[in-house]
Amino acid sequence: IQFGINSTILCPTPLGSPPSSYRLFGGTLTGGNPPKANPPSHPYLQDELLTKIASSVTTRSHVFVLWLTVGFFQVTNDTSYPVQLGQEIGASTGQNVRHHMFAIVDRSALTVPNNNNGTLSQAAVTITGVNTIKVGALQDSANPPQWWIKPGTILTVDNAGSSQETLVVTATNTANNTITAKFNKTHATGVPIMIPDPGNPGPQPQFLPQDNSAVVPYYAVID
């Protein structure tokens, strides 16, 4: 239960070691380890911010439990859509096989699919705001899928890292392999810079739940 609460606006503040029991949005925090609410005032004042934003947010997430049963059937007509199915394979002899699977899918966990469309930063971003940094390459037209970084390109910096952010390129310099964009976070040298595939990716035959634990936190093939 505590794990679920920690994924909502009721989560504790991440400051301090061990983490504080005070809520992230519960009052004003000062120094200390763990930090203390200042002042330890009336609960009404402590929860004033939560009360203010309560009507604009929700603690409900799009988490679903999936039970899957997979069977195998003969295809009697594959020229029409949907295809016409016949008898279940092995049903007449009692040898039909059905696989049962269980999974938890969290659609509220926004993720960026991994791909090879990208490069690495060659310089650190030490301050937020508009920065011009050198990157490993601005294009790759030799290996599919081909990609280019140009003004207007949407990039994801430090994908899956602690400073992940998505930004829009405002200028490039092909002679020096530099990009200019407004950064909202700082980044170290050598972080990945990728061109994400926006929109609904649709069915993904190569989707692996073990590589997407934020979206599929648990799955099991029962039999």
Whether 112 is in a domain gets the answer no
- As for how many domains the chain has, the answer is 3
User: Are the C-beta atoms of residues 49 and 55 closer than 8 Å to each other?
Assistant: no
pTM of the full structure: 0.43
Per-residue model confidence as pLDDT tens digits over 78-118: 888 888 999 999 998 989 999 999 998 887 766 655 566 78
Whether 30 is in a domain gets the answer yes
User: Are the C-beta atoms of residues 164 and 156 closer than 8 Å to each other?
Assistant: yes
Per-residue model confidence as pLDDT tens digits over 12-43: 776 554 555 667 777 655 555 554 545 456 77
Whether 212 is in a domain gets the answer no
| One domain, residues 96 and 138 | no
For residue 47, what pLDDT band results from cuts at 50, 70 and 90?
Answer: confident
Whether 22 is in a domain gets the answer yes
| One domain, residues 24 and 40 | yes
Closest among 87, 79, 76, 112 to 211, alpha carbons compared: 112
Rounded distance, CA 123 to CA 144, Å?
Answer: 26
Residue range(s) defining the domain that contains residue 162? 118-194
Q: Which of 18, 37, 56 is the last residue of a domain?
A: 56
Q: Which of 17, 39, 56 is the last residue of a domain?
A: 56
| One domain, residues 188 and 127 | yes
Query: CATH number of the domain that 145 lies in?
Result: 2.60.40
Whether 184 is in a domain gets the answer yes
For residue 129, what pLDDT band results from cuts at 50, 70 and 90?
Answer: very high
